[in-house]
Chain A
Amino acid sequence: MSSTKFILGLFDDPDVMMHGIDQLQKNSVPIYDVYTPMPIHGIDDKLGIKPSRLGYAAFMFGCLGGTTIFSLVYYFMVHDWPMDIGGKPAFAVPSFIPATFEWTVLFTAFGMTATFFFSTHLFPGRTPRVMDLRATDDRFVIAIDAKGNIPHEEITNLLKEAGAVEVKHNDRKYVSYE
């Protein structure tokens, strides 16, 4: 039994890597994940990853922020301590718009980014789960779970034929752990 946990195909070109994904999928090799130094459009479609729903979260947070501050301002200016400013109405909606707008933006930005960090498990001090250290530099890495994908040699050849500059058989899932 081989001790290989993950097979990594390292590519130096995003288009060649895309070709590699096609080749693997043609041969029914399931792909664990792909790590790239920059956003490559189209991988998510190939891997069947659904579009992000962060936009909905952002919208919800925006609504929350706008409602919160508008309610607060209403309470301050109309309910709790209405001021007589030359007999003008206390419920002066145009004056409330700037604060409402700013908090809508504020809640959207913070809420959406927090949701992004939460769902992607990003937080200060999280141990990086990196499979190959050059994946953040100049290598486009296709990771294949070695367990269950027994013919390792075939996968290696497949990756090489597809144009991988290097194929790694890693015994550890993450090389970044001390």
Chain B
Amino acid sequence: MASHNESIIREPLITGKDITYAKITNDVLHPVENMPTKAWWIGFTVASLGACLWVFAVSYTFWYGIGSWGLNKTVGWAWDITGFVWWVGIGHAGTLISAILLMFRQNWRNSINRSAEAMTIFAVICAATYIVAHMGRPWMAVYSLPLPNQYGSLWVNFNSPLIWDVFAISTYFSVSLVFWYTGLLPDLATIRDRATGIRRKIYSVCSFGWTGSVKTWQRFETVSLILAGISTPLVLSVHTIVSMDFATSLEPGWHTTIFPPYFVAGAIFSGFAMVQTLLLITRKVLGLENYITMFHIESMNKIILLTGSIVGVAYMTEFFIAYYSGGEYEQYTFLNRFTGPYWWAGCMMYGCNVLMTQMMWFKKVRTNIPISWVLSIVVNIGMWFERFVIIVTSLHRDFIPSSWAMFYPTWIDLSVFIGSIGVFFTLFLLFIRVFPSIAMGEVKLLVKSSSEQAKKKLLDSGHIDPSHAEFYKEALTKFDSVELSDYEKV
């Protein structure tokens, strides 16, 4: 049924008064149906300049070859794979929110899943560009596919994690895209039915003729649930396989069985940090405070705390196992993270990811928007350094001291990295301009059960256990979008 009275103890997922179905549509579609604001234009200009830088830097790489990067024969992987793993990891939060939280019936996902999924897709695009760019001769990418060729046919090696990665990333991207777009159809139909002229025609094509009939919705829900069911193991497999790119090698610092769970936790950790970075701004700029509430922010911070702590445990395990293994190369690699020339990168990694996120144990920190935002940036930085430490710090001390080397990024390395952030934000800003950034159909489901006004009605009815009512009112104090004075008399 559409409505039932949810327990008063649960915090509201939609705040504000007079939230009607029409108001949700109006609020969510406001940025889509109106000319963009100045803030959007400024953001878009900066982001697209970054994207132009990316186009230039990658073209330069293709023209002059990988030699334009700072790689050398000891450090053969550096910012490219660091960037790749970083972006893929960021993508993972979107699938976690849209798939795993759907399966666990966490309704707070409803207002953040759309933009998180979009973020997934854009992050995976950025990751894929790194893969193509680091090939140097990108037209050779075709040889990563098992296609008949003139050499035999010489097939790709299915014993290689790099080939598993080709399959994992391409499947992940395309399945995420299908999941996201199928979910968009009802909302695109909403835009279509409100638009006129050419906009109506465009959204008509994009919405595939969606009507919202009973059978359509029934099938839609089946598809969503099954897609969620298969995306859950998929997302776990993707970062597992990414970690196997390292773990199946014999390189000290990489050759570790803990890598798959450690990478997956790290991916979700960094992904949620990026969702937090984006949504804290989006909710403010687009005026969506009633839908992306303090409860959402705090919940995401709790997940960041949990996954950050898992990552912390993984770090400790790594160190213990390095000590316990008795392998001197292994031990040296881990000591070198603190005592070697890249000690500062190690400090960034452990400091940002473990020490800083432990602040989230405090509710004051979790519910403070500026601090949450800064911490989310700190996590993003920390997770970039984690990959840098794993890749470069492990590589730069080879088995033979004569081949020890340092990695110095060139301005092309730097431009590709900054440029990929530009590409990401360009895509994200275009997304919030043309597509609804909140899944309206799913948020509307919550109005009658989990909204502040529905709970207020419950309170007003007077049949609530007073201690529960007190508990609820206490919980409301953290919200920045709730008028607390309304609750004084209740």
B212 touches A136 (CB 8 A): yes
Query: Given known contacts A41-B2, A128-B210, is B216 in contact with A120 (CB within 8 Å)?
Result: yes
A98 touches B237 (CB 8 A): yes
A133 touches B194 (CB 8 A): yes
A80 touches B153 (CB 8 A): yes
Nearest to A90 among chain B residues (CB) is B159
A129 touches B209 (CB 8 A): yes
Query: Considering the chains assembled together, what is the distance between the CA atoms of A102 and B190 in angstroms?
Result: 34
Q: CB-CB < 8 A to B178: which residues of A? A: 109-110, 113
Q: CB-CB < 8 A to B231: which residues of A? A: 105, 109
A98 touches B241 (CB 8 A): yes
List residues of B (215-244) whose CB comes within 8 Å of A's CBs. Answer: 215-223, 226-227, 230-231, 233-234, 237, 241
Q: CB-CB < 8 A to B442: which residues of A? A: 38
- For residue A33, CB closer than 8 A to chain B, the reply is yes
Query: Least Cβ distance of B310 to chain A in Å?
Result: 23
B218 touches A98 (CB 8 A): no
- For the complex, would chain B's binding face be called helix, strand, loop or mixed by DSSP majority? helix
B153 touches A40 (CB 8 A): no
B214 touches A137 (CB 8 A): no
- For residue B344, CB closer than 8 A to chain A, the reply is no
Query: Given known contacts A15-B3, A102-B237, is B220 in contact with A116 (CB within 8 Å)?
Result: yes
Query: Least Cβ distance of B27 to chain A in Å?
Result: 12
A12 touches B209 (CB 8 A): no
Query: Considering the chains assembled together, what is the distance between the CA atoms of A128 and B185 in angstroms?
Result: 12
Task: Indicate the size class of the contact surface on chain B.
Answer: 35 or more
- For residue A51, CB closer than 8 A to chain B, the reply is yes
Chain A 100-112: CB-based contact to B (< 8 A → 1; otherwise 0): 0111011011101
B226 touches A55 (CB 8 A): yes
Query: Least Cβ distance of A29 to chain B in Å?
Result: 16
Query: Considering the chains assembled together, what is the distance between the CA atoms of A121 and B210 in angstroms?
Result: 9
Number of interface residues of A (CB under 8 A): 70
Query: Given known contacts A121-B209, A135-B212, is B167 in contact with A99 (CB within 8 Å)?
Result: yes
- For residue A148, CB closer than 8 A to chain B, the reply is no
Nearest to A109 among chain B residues (CB) is B175
- For residue B21, CB closer than 8 A to chain A, the reply is yes
Query: Considering the chains assembled together, what is the distance between the CA atoms of A54 and B164 in angstroms?
Result: 29
Q: CB-CB < 8 A to B25: which residues of A? A: 37, 137-138
Nearest to A141 among chain B residues (CB) is B212
B168 touches A102 (CB 8 A): yes
Query: Considering the chains assembled together, what is the distance between the CA atoms of A54 and B215 in angstroms?
Result: 12
- For residue B157, CB closer than 8 A to chain A, the reply is yes
Nearest to B226 among chain A residues (CB) is A58
A128 touches B211 (CB 8 A): yes
Residue from A41, A42, A76 in contact with B155 in the complex, judged by beta carbons closer than 8 Å: A76
Query: Considering the chains assembled together, what is the distance between the CA atoms of A131 and B217 in angstroms?
Result: 16
Residue from B163, B182, B189, B213 in contact with A33 in the complex, judged by beta carbons closer than 8 Å: B213
B190 touches A83 (CB 8 A): no
Query: Least Cβ distance of A143 to chain B in Å?
Result: 9
Q: CB-CB < 8 A to B226: which residues of A? A: 54-55, 58, 108, 112
Query: Given known contacts A37-B21, A103-B171, is B146 in contact with A49 (CB within 8 Å)?
Result: no
Q: CB-CB < 8 A to A63: which residues of B? A: none
A36 touches B192 (CB 8 A): no
A128 touches B222 (CB 8 A): no
Nearest to A76 among chain B residues (CB) is B155
- For residue A150, CB closer than 8 A to chain B, the reply is no
A37 touches B208 (CB 8 A): no
Query: Considering the chains assembled together, what is the distance between the CA atoms of A33 and B189 in angstroms?
Result: 18
Query: Least Cβ distance of B288 to chain A in Å?
Result: 18
Query: Given known contacts A39-B445, A102-B237, A109-B178, is B215 in contact with A120 (CB within 8 Å)?
Result: yes
List residues of B (130-181) whose CB comes within 8 Å of A's CBs. Answer: 146, 152-159, 161, 163-164, 167-168, 171, 174-175, 178-179
B237 touches A108 (CB 8 A): no
Residue from A34, A35, A127, A131 in contact with B204 in the complex, judged by beta carbons closer than 8 Å: A127
Interface centre among B212, B444, B448, by most A CB within 10 Å?
A: B212
Query: Least Cβ distance of A102 to chain B in Å?
Result: 4
- For residue B22, CB closer than 8 A to chain A, the reply is yes
Residue from A34, A49, A54, A73 in contact with B223 in the complex, judged by beta carbons closer than 8 Å: A54
B152 touches A81 (CB 8 A): yes
Query: Least Cβ distance of B32 to chain A in Å?
Result: 13
Nearest to B164 among chain A residues (CB) is A98
- For residue B339, CB closer than 8 A to chain A, the reply is no
Query: Least Cβ distance of B448 to chain A in Å?
Result: 7
Query: Given known contacts A15-B2, A137-B193, A138-B25, is B220 in contact with A99 (CB within 8 Å)?
Result: no
- For residue B441, CB closer than 8 A to chain A, the reply is yes
List residues of A (22-68) whose CB comes within 8 Å of B's CBs. Answer: 33-44, 47, 49, 51-52, 54-55, 58, 62
Q: Please name 24 pairs of A and B residues whose Cβ atoms are closer than 8 Å in the assembled complex, sorted by A.
A: A14-B2, A15-B3, A33-B214, A34-B214, A37-B25, A37-B440, A38-B441, A38-B445, A39-B217, A42-B1, A44-B218, A58-B226, A76-B158, A98-B164, A101-B233, A102-B234, A105-B234, A109-B178, A122-B209, A122-B216, A123-B208, A128-B193, A137-B22, A137-B25
Can you name 17 extra interface pairs (CB under 8 A) apart from A81-B152, A105-B231? A12-B21, A15-B448, A37-B21, A102-B234, A103-B167, A109-B178, A113-B223, A116-B182, A116-B222, A126-B209, A128-B192, A136-B186, A136-B189, A136-B190, A137-B21, A137-B193, A176-B193
Query: Which 9 residue pairs spanning A and B have beta carbons closest together?
Result: A126-B209, A14-B2, A138-B21, A76-B155, A98-B164, A122-B208, A138-B22, A102-B167, A39-B217
